[in-house]
């Protein structure tokens, strides 16, 4: 009888017929490589094994990157669908007051924000009946308010969309909900020549809903559609 212990014949035949089972099993390959290193002794450096470990580490990093790219692609697709749904809902109303109420209602729900507020700069006060009726979604501010609010009094490049995290919301925008707001998106609105600008503010109680590191392309598209819709109502 041979002194070398042999594996069972049935298992050996299975491995011989399907060696890919071994190659595809990471844990089993690690065990075989470790056994080979023990058999070689401690005075021999296995350069091939070292190279394989490095290649394996690089493969793991590539797989992590691949998963991250796939996750980002799904997130972008979900965000695009969300904006498209909100735009379609925003275009449905045929009356201005319904349009604004939907903005603070179903549109806000689709976008998953806690507050949407439209701020219009005006030379007049905010005691007009329409402003009183729609105070939960519409407010009137003095000229220059939009620039001051978005820039927070600092000189900064003019951007259509500003995302930021805040300690709490501004009472002039959010009213009683101000203390719960932790992040916001500020969308500047241009209503055309001869008209004062406006501001569409989205507020969230989630501090991570809007951050400066996020992309703004989708919200810029939403702002562009909103501007054009408002020009129709203001004409």
Q: What is the pLDDT of residue 222?
A: 94
- Give the right CATH number for 69-234 from 3.30.930.10, 3.30.420.480, 3.30.450.40, 3.10.450.50: 3.30.450.40
User: Dihedral through CA 146, CA 156, CA 160, CA 115, nearest 10?
Assistant: -50
Express as a percent the part of the chain with pLDDT over 90: 33
**Contact indicator for 189, 157 with CB cutoff of 8 Å:** no
Task: Say what the pTM is.
Answer: 0.67
Cα dihedral: 223, 224, 225, 230 (round 10): 80
Average pLDDT over residues 154-169: 83
Q: What is the pLDDT of residue 210?
A: 93
pLDDT in tens, 125-154: 555 666 667 768 888 889 989 999 998 767
The pLDDT value recorded for residue 1 is 41
Closest among 199, 196, 195 to 187, alpha carbons compared: 199
Domain chopping of the chain, boundaries = 9-61, 69-234
Is the dihedral angle over the CA atoms 155, 180, 184, 176 positive or is it negative? Answer: negative
């Amino acid at each position: 009888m041979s002194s070398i212990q042999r594996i069972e014949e049935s298992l050996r035949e299975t491995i011989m017929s399907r060696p890919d089972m071994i190659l595809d099993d990471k844990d089993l390959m690690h065990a075989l490589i470790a056994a080979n290193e023990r058999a070689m002794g401690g005075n021999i450096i296995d350069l091939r094994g070292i190279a394989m470990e490095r290649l394996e580490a690089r493969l793991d990093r590539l797989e992590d990157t691949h998963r991250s790219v796939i996750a980002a692609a799904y997130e972008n697709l979900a965000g695009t669908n969300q904006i498209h749904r909100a735009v379609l809902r925003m275009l449905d109303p045929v009356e201005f007051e319904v349009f604004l109420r939907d903005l603070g209602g179903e549109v806000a729900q689709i976008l998953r924000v806690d507050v949407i507020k439209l701020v219009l700069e005006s030379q007049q006060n905010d005691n007009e009946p329409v402003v009183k009726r729609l105070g939960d979604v519409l407010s009137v501010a003095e000229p220059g308010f939009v620039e001051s609010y978005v820039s927070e009094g600092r000189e900064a490049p003019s951007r259509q969309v500003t995302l930021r995290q805040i300690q709490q919301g501004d009472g002039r925008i959010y009213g009683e909900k101000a203390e719960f707001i932790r992040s916001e998106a500020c969308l500047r609105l241009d209503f055309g020549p001869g008209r004062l600008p406006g501001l569409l503010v989205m507020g969230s109680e989630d501090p991570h809903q809007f951050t400066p590191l996020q992309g703004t392309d989708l919200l810029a598209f939403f702002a562009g559609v909103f501007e054009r819709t408002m020009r129709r109502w203001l004409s």
